[in-house]
């Protein structure tokens, strides 16, 4: 049998602290493919987050254009692709042409060439090589270009949140969606919401290529025992960035009179600002204790869930794909409070948690936390059981990634 080769494009995996969810998927890829080349934007560091076998090679490739390539990008205005995309921007997306949109498009056209030319030298077996971009970004555009040049290659990508929803970007624009889908075998969306969004965005022209493939997490543990007569332990887990609206949690806690211990896992550009807000709002409330843990590894997060008594998980994001953080919490039988955005509606239900409005007030969040705090032990126990059941049936990595590999 011919050797199966995979070229896998990531932002920083296996280095850095991001893309922790790839750690659950990668062992399944490593088991199926005979040789894997990971092309990552992250420079090499001493510490890798996963054990790489001899059949895995990691290459650092800077995604930003060189000064020379930036100048070359201006030549893109003479390409057929440029004018085809201009037509899509105007007629399909109904956007007014702006200099920033044109710059984004020209940059992506140039990156497409740069990426394709670079990766070409690593393709050993054109008939048995898979190209996989973990994000629907410029790397996906680059592998679509390679597929265009060499149709025998197998090219596919995933679509999550920021790389999918146009409205999450200042110009409401992401480049060359139609080009990616025309010259790819498949685009795997992590949620039904995302799949429907991409179908609609491209006028259902690529329905057979736009697929659903849920992410998943690993958990061999049983649900931790429920302990009564303790402070309600509320956990949030995300980057500390504006999109996540962690300030709303602080403002809601400020309104609560019940004993609560809040833990936030994650770091980000707003960490200092949010810690200061918490000190200002919560330091005089004797019923509230809180802790910002900073960034934890995926292993540390799972250990935290398995050893701590946690009552509720909360997500108040403006937009989401389908959060792995919610999957992880539910795998430990933790009910979830989340905003009614993106794929959250596919994992959070009245049986395992509570959906807030898409733009909740602090008072709404406060009332929902109280709803669970006042719940009988019998009723709350059902939420715990249903949270774990949701994970087992829909977000178990062993099931989801086995199906994903089979589809490839």
DSSP track, 64-98: SPPHHHHHHGGGGGGSHHHHHHHHIIIIIS-PPP-
pLDDT at residue 1 is higher than 80? no
Question: Are β-strands 129-133 and 5-10 bridged in parallel, bridged antiparallel, or unpaired?
Answer: parallel
pLDDT value of position 46 = 66
Reported as a pLDDT band with limits 50, 70 and 90, residue 20 is: confident
Cα gap 338→313, rounded to integer Å: 8
What is the pLDDT averaged over residues 275-295? Answer: 96
pLDDT value of position 195 = 97
pLDDT value of position 89 = 97
- Structural domains of the chain, ranges and CATH numbers in brackets: 5-217+397-407 (3.40.50.2000), 232-394 (3.40.50.2000)
Handedness of CA 289, 295, 296, 302 (dihedral sign): positive
**Partners of 66 in beta bridges:** none
Q: Which of 32-41, 117-126, 286-295 shows the lowest mean pLDDT across its residues?
A: 117-126
Concatenated DSSP letters of 151-185? TTSEEEEEE-STTT-GGGSTTS--S-HHHHHHT-S
Contact status, residue 319 vs residue 350, Cβ threshold 8 Å: no
Cα gap 356→336, rounded to integer Å: 10
Would you tell me how many other CB atoms lie within 10 Å of the CB of residue 127?
9
Structure confidence by residue, pLDDT tens digits, 108-128? 999 999 999 999 989 987 779
Reported as a pLDDT band with limits 50, 70 and 90, residue 408 is: confident
In sequence order, which ranges of 308-396 are alpha helices (DSSP H)?
324-331, 344-347, 362-373, 377-394
Structure confidence by residue, pLDDT tens digits, 128-174? 999 999 999 999 999 999 999 999 999 999 999 999 999 999 899 99
Reported as a pLDDT band with limits 50, 70 and 90, residue 63 is: confident
Concatenated DSSP letters of 295-321? ---HHHHHHHHHHS---EEEE--S--S
pLDDT value of position 97 = 95
Contact status, residue 160 vs residue 135, Cβ threshold 8 Å: yes
Burial category of 283 from C-beta neighbours within 10 Å (exposed 0-12, middle 13-18, buried 19 and up)? exposed
pLDDT value of position 397 = 96
> How high is the mean pLDDT of the chain?
94
Whether this prediction's pTM lies above 0.85 is answered by yes
Question: Residue 334, by phi and psi: left (phi above 0), alpha (psi -120 to 50) or beta?
Answer: beta
Query: What tokens appear for 302 in the block?
Result: 């799972």
Cα gap 159→84, rounded to integer Å: 23
Query: What tokens appear for 189 in the block?
Result: 């969306």
Reported as a pLDDT band with limits 50, 70 and 90, residue 404 is: very high
pLDDT value of position 229 = 67
pLDDT at residue 246 is higher than 70? yes
Query: What tokens appear for 165 in the block?
Result: 């929803």
Structure confidence by residue, pLDDT tens digits, 324-372? 999 999 999 999 999 999 999 999 999 999 999 999 999 999 999 999 9
Contact status, residue 10 vs residue 38, Cβ threshold 8 Å: yes
Cα gap 280→259, rounded to integer Å: 18
Handedness of CA 274, 45, 65, 19 (dihedral sign): negative
8-state DSSP, 162: T
Contact status, residue 164 vs residue 136, Cβ threshold 8 Å: yes
Reported as a pLDDT band with limits 50, 70 and 90, residue 222 is: confident
Reported as a pLDDT band with limits 50, 70 and 90, residue 59 is: very high
């Amino acid at each position: 049998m011919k050797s199966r080769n995979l070229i896998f494009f990531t932002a920083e995996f296996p280095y850095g602290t991001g893309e922790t969810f790839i750690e659950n998927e990668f062992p399944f890829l490593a088991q199926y493919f005979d040789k894997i080349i990971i092309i990552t934007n992250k420079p090499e560091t001493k510490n890798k987050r996963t054990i790489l076998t001899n059949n895995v090679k990691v290459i650092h490739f800077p995604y930003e254009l060189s000064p020379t390539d930036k100048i070359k990008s201006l030549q893109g205005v003479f390409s057929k692709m440029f004018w085809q995309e201009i037509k899509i921007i105007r007629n399909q997306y109904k956007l007014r042409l702006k200099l920033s949109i044109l710059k984004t498009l020209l940059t992506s056209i140039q990156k497409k060439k740069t990426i394709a030319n670079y990766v070409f030298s690593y393709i050993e077996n054109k008939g048995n090589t898979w190209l996989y971009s973990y994000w629907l970004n410029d790397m996906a555009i680059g592998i679509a270009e390679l597929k265009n040049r060499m149709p025998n290659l197998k090219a596919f990508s995933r679509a999550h949140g920021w790389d999918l929803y146009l409205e999450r970007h200042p110009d409401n624009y992401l480049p060359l969606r139609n080009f990616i889908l025309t010259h790819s075998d498949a685009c795997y969306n992590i949620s039904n919401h995302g799949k429907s969004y991409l179908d609609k965005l491209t006028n259902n022209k690529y329905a057979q290529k736009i697929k659903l493939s849920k992410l998943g997490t690993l958990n061999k543990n049983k649900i931790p025992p429920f302990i009564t007569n303790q402070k309600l332990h509320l956990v949030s887990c995300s980057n500390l960035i504006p999109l996540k609206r962690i300030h709303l949690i602080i403002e809601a806690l400020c309104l609560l009179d019940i004993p609560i211990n809040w833990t936030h896992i994650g770091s980000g550009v707003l960490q200092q600002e949010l810690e200061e807000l918490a000190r200002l709002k919560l330091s005089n409330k004797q019923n509230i204790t809180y802790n910002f843990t900073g960034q934890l590894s995926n292993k540390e997060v799972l250990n935290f869930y398995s050893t701590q008594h946690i009552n509720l998980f909360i997500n108040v994001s403006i937009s989401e794909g389908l959060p792995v953080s919610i999957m992880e919490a539910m795998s430990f039988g933790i009910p979830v409070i989340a905003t009614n955005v993106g794929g959250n509606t596919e994992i959070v239900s009245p049986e395992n948690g509570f959906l807030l409005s898409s733009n909740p007030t602090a008072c709404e969040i406060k009332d929902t936390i109280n709803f669970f705090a006042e719940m009988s032990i019998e009723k709350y126990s059902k939420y715990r059981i249903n949270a774990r059941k949701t994970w087992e049936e829909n977000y178990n990595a062993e099931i989801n990634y086995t199906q994903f590999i089979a589809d490839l």
